[in-house]
Chains A and B, each alone.
Chain A
Amino acid sequence: MRKLIVDYSLCNGCGRCEIVCSKAFFKEENREKSAIRIFSNQYGGYHGQYRLAVCDQCGVCAKMCTPMALYVDDNGVWKIDKNKCVGCLICIGECDRGLIYYHDDLPTPFKCIACGLCVRACPTGALRLSE
């Protein structure tokens, strides 16, 4: 299964992953349209100063998708078929870690598809793709 692996201890919170993600998929630099999000880790600890919230491709979100818009591809990555998605946002409620995102400008929610663009943009090596 391909998914994004995060080493929290290496993240410096620069936000490049967020920018590259929103630019790739929505043609704008807007953290609110990124499928990976950096949060300040208020508890600190050995995980480092930041927490990165990104899908680990567990597929729980797909179970309640009535139009069956959420599907798993050959690499084990869960994707949203925009032609089938009706924008009900149930998948967002199903993901108890809040890793599916939406934006009021957009008709459908979005999530990480493990494309790896953020891995290449990350200056510290905090991100990598697992195959």
Chain B
Amino acid sequence: MNSESQLLASQHQLLTEYRYKHNPIYRGYNNRLLYIDLDSMTVKEKQITPEIKEKFTGGRGFGLYYLWQAVTPQTKWNDPENEIVIAHGPLSGITQYPGAGKSLVCALSPLTHLPIDSNVGGYFGPFLKFSGFDALELQGKADNDVIIFIDGNEHEIRIETAPSEAIDSHILVEQLSDMYANNDDDKSSIAIVCSGTAAENCNIGMLNFSFWDKRRGCARLKQAGRGGIGRVFRDKHIKAIVCRYRGVNGDINNPAEKRLINTAGIRLHKEVANSDHLQNNMRKIGTANIIEVMDQYDLLPCYNYQFGSDPQTEKITSQVFIDNYVTQGVPDGCWYGCSLSCAKAVNNFLLRTGPYKGQRVCVDGPEYENAAGLGANTGTFDPDWILEANFYCDTYGLDTISMGTMTAFAMECFDRGIITLEHTGGLDLSWGNGESLCELMHQMSRGEGFGIIVGRGVREMKKIFVEEYGADKNFLEDIGMEQKGLEYSEYLMKESLAQQGGYALCNKGPQHDEAWLIFMDIVNNQMPTFEDKAEALYYFPLFRTWFGLLGMCKLPWNDITPADNKYSDDPAKVPGHVRNYCQVFEGVTGKSIAENDILKMSDRVYTFQRVFILRMGSGQRCHDKPPYRSLGPVTKEEYLSRENRYDKQLKEKTGIDPVAKSVEEKIAILRIWREQQFETLVDAVYKRRGWTPNGIPKLQKLEELGIDFPEVVAVVKPYLQAEGFWPDYAE
């Protein structure tokens, strides 16, 4: 420990100490979780029963189940009873198969006031598991900043005051890695969860999960970005959670049949080694490989989702980052065994603004969402500003996706004169002003200025602009890209009906991790009918949910595919990899499963989450309504940017000759047609999911899934009765 760490540690005061008995993991489960109440500083172990395992599997399932138990329909995000639940899953921590280090974080969100789930890499999830716990439940609020330390080797938990460490993540993780590791070599045994200064002031606060990068000799950060969980974390006065575990190997899960895991893992490692450079180039540039692809297909959100491409995209293509920024030739896996290694980093990046101006730092990224959201969507086609904004989002604890979408909204309002320099406190929010983008973040960190208004999220910004600045409510509802209170992630869905549904029908709000159907829909035209789209919006959200139940990453499923995948029955599902997952699941748990079992496991949790959001005041059809910009062109400029396409659609689909019509008239007619299309899609999807036309899961569905618990049925009953779907046999 260096002298700075010694000084910081000397100021810690021990509040609670708890020792526990370590039991070996059995087939992927510890069968217990760790519960911490920060009000009373109590630490408890809770048994996870076979029934809870059977119904909720792990990860997001456990997170939502325990959150449900903790809160009431009246609970607000900043009430002490709101919990942060961090859970991994039965496959988490295996080292042989790529992508097995994910944690799922659930809490009531300050943005949506609903349960949010956010997935994140880094070492914390596996280390928590190896320490003896399948989940961590955090409830209550500490009086002052604390660090929770879990020593997985000594089987001890300590809660300590932490008055003097930094709050911003890039400094804090270095301080804590040094403080809690036994020596430099031991730093890879330390996993940290923390947030940042802006998370204290903004609803879009996120959580960083660290991992130690041996080659670069620094702590790296992955983010549980969506939904503002970082704000809940800081509101609970948690400065950090630190887990120490030394001795990682491929056997700690005590798997049922290691052979199955090994063979599937090697098969995928070989595929990645042989094909990644021919497919998505994830090893070289990670998810940013699609920046120019999205632009090429008119799907890159530019200028607050008005347009899908821009000539300036050439300044921020993946090749620009590969050639000039991202450190190459080092493995960037955020958990051991990830041969896909998409977590890129830029070393020695010189900051131009803010409190760390002039310093050279390591920037984690850029990921696609950061380049698209902080870059194209705000008109900032400048890699240096994108990276600077990326860095500050990470260290301040801000979700890059929400930050991009919110700033894009504010910039459009500025561009259209809805807000002015007077409102922004003199901050020039013109499109592409990267310096202002960063200044908004600095204001969020300092808790002052217009940044605080932007940091409330698009939904609250709309309210303020309408009520206090006299803006046109309908127009802002059309262009403010949020739904259920969550900002849209960074894909232009306007021309893909399936993706419109993929976003709007998400339980947590519009995030693409449930369904990313743009390519299937408009590039490959694989879903021509409503029923086809509904089937995709049944299958993919469930299949993708499964990753979050198991502690797995989605990327190695379809960001690398077997060389012969295109000849398979259903290439979009990557059947070869689905077989791998079934094999690995059996290898760890000993249970043989098929694709249908995957869907059923997920459907239980997915449907439970739907009932949960209903319980918290959302979850009906009216809440699934998206802003019109996600369905079609709101403004003249948008219409004209795709005039031929829209004119053709008017003629062919509505039978109206566009020639004699003004652009405004054409926008209005197209809107009626597109909104009808969307509603027809919603009908088809609800039906396929076993929900009523109002979006309520039917009793038969709950029974079929085995989640007809009295408290769950009690939530849906009045809605089903009102809609005439309460069955006679249940009377």
Q: Does A88 contact B (CB under 8 A)?
A: yes
In this complex, what residue of A is CB-closest to B341? A64
Q: Does A96 contact B (CB under 8 A)?
A: yes
A-chain residues with CB within 8 Å of residue B513 when the two chains form the complex:
none
The range of chain A's interface size is 20 to 34
Indicate with 1 or 0, residue by residue over B415-444, a CB within 8 angstroms of chain A CB atoms.
000000000000000000000000000000
Q: Does A53 contact B (CB under 8 A)?
A: no
Q: Does A107 contact B (CB under 8 A)?
A: yes
A104 CA to B274 CA in the complex, in Å? Answer: 24
A-chain residues with CB within 8 Å of residue B269 when the two chains form the complex:
89-90, 92-94
**A93 & B214 in contact (Cβ 8 Å cutoff):** no
A108 CA to B273 CA in the complex, in Å? Answer: 20
A89 CA to B267 CA in the complex, in Å? Answer: 10
Q: Measuring CB to CB, which residues of chain A are less than 8 angstroms from any residue of chain B?
A: 63-68, 85-90, 92-94, 96, 102, 104, 107-108
A88 CA to B250 CA in the complex, in Å? Answer: 7
A89 CA to B250 CA in the complex, in Å? Answer: 9
**A93 & B259 in contact (Cβ 8 Å cutoff):** no
**B249 & A107 in contact (Cβ 8 Å cutoff):** yes
Q: Which of B673-696 contact A (CB under 8 A)?
A: none
Q: Measuring CB to CB, which residues of chain B are less than 8 angstroms from any residue of chain A?
A: 95-96, 188, 214-215, 248-251, 258-259, 262, 265-266, 268-274, 329, 331, 333, 336-337, 339, 341
**A90 & B337 in contact (Cβ 8 Å cutoff):** yes
B-chain residues with CB within 8 Å of residue A104 when the two chains form the complex:
258-259, 262
**B337 & A88 in contact (Cβ 8 Å cutoff):** yes
In this complex, what residue of B is CB-closest to A105? B258
In this complex, what residue of A is CB-closest to B270? A93
16 contacts between A and B (CB under 8 A): A64-B273, A64-B341, A66-B214, A66-B337, A86-B95, A87-B96, A87-B250, A87-B251, A88-B250, A89-B250, A89-B269, A90-B337, A93-B268, A94-B269, A104-B262, A107-B251
**Other A-B pairs, 7, CB within 8 Å; known A93-B269, A93-B339, A96-B274:** A63-B329, A66-B331, A85-B249, A86-B250, A88-B265, A92-B270, A107-B251
Contact partner, B273, options A86, A94, A102, Cβ 8 Å: A94
B-chain residues with CB within 8 Å of residue A96 when the two chains form the complex:
273-274
Contact partner, B331, options A64, A87, A89, A93, Cβ 8 Å: A64
B-chain residues with CB within 8 Å of residue A66 when the two chains form the complex:
214, 331, 333, 336-337
In this complex, what residue of A is CB-closest to B339? A90
Which 10 A-B pairs rank lowest in CB-CB distance, beginning with the nearest? A93-B269, A87-B250, A88-B337, A88-B95, A93-B270, A104-B259, A86-B336, A64-B331, A93-B273, A86-B248
**B262 & A93 in contact (Cβ 8 Å cutoff):** no
**A64 & B266 in contact (Cβ 8 Å cutoff):** no
A107 CA to B271 CA in the complex, in Å? Answer: 22
**B96 & A89 in contact (Cβ 8 Å cutoff):** yes
Q: Summarize A's interface: helix, strand, loop or mixed.
A: loop
**B95 & A68 in contact (Cβ 8 Å cutoff):** no
B-chain residues with CB within 8 Å of residue A93 when the two chains form the complex:
266, 268-273, 339
In this complex, what residue of B is CB-closest to A108? B249
B-chain residues with CB within 8 Å of residue A90 when the two chains form the complex:
269, 331, 337, 339
**B265 & A89 in contact (Cβ 8 Å cutoff):** yes
In this complex, what residue of A is CB-closest to B96? A89
A107 CA to B336 CA in the complex, in Å? Answer: 14
B-chain residues with CB within 8 Å of residue A85 when the two chains form the complex:
249
A68 CA to B185 CA in the complex, in Å? Answer: 11
Chain B nearest CB, measured from A108 CB (Å): 8
Chain B nearest CB, measured from A106 CB (Å): 10
**B331 & A88 in contact (Cβ 8 Å cutoff):** no
Chain A nearest CB, measured from B101 CB (Å): 11
**B214 & A67 in contact (Cβ 8 Å cutoff):** yes
Supposing A90-B337, A93-B266 touch, asked if A67 and B250 sit within 8 A by C-beta, the answer is no
B-chain residues with CB within 8 Å of residue A86 when the two chains form the complex:
95, 248-250, 336-337
A88 CA to B96 CA in the complex, in Å? Answer: 4
A65 CA to B248 CA in the complex, in Å? Answer: 14
A-chain residues with CB within 8 Å of residue B268 when the two chains form the complex:
93
Chain A nearest CB, measured from B43 CB (Å): 29
**A88 & B336 in contact (Cβ 8 Å cutoff):** yes
A-chain residues with CB within 8 Å of residue B249 when the two chains form the complex:
85-87, 107-108
**B262 & A102 in contact (Cβ 8 Å cutoff):** yes
Contact partner, B266, options A63, A65, A92, Cβ 8 Å: A92
A96 CA to B277 CA in the complex, in Å? Answer: 15
A85 CA to B214 CA in the complex, in Å? Answer: 13
A92 CA to B269 CA in the complex, in Å? Answer: 8
Chain B nearest CB, measured from A88 CB (Å): 3
A-chain residues with CB within 8 Å of residue B336 when the two chains form the complex:
66-67, 86, 88
A-chain residues with CB within 8 Å of residue B248 when the two chains form the complex:
86
In this complex, what residue of A is CB-closest to B337? A88
**A89 & B214 in contact (Cβ 8 Å cutoff):** no
- Most chain B CB within 10 A, of A64, A67, A68, A107, is at A64
**B259 & A63 in contact (Cβ 8 Å cutoff):** no
A102 CA to B258 CA in the complex, in Å? Answer: 12
Chain A nearest CB, measured from B276 CB (Å): 11
**B214 & A68 in contact (Cβ 8 Å cutoff):** yes
**B259 & A89 in contact (Cβ 8 Å cutoff):** no
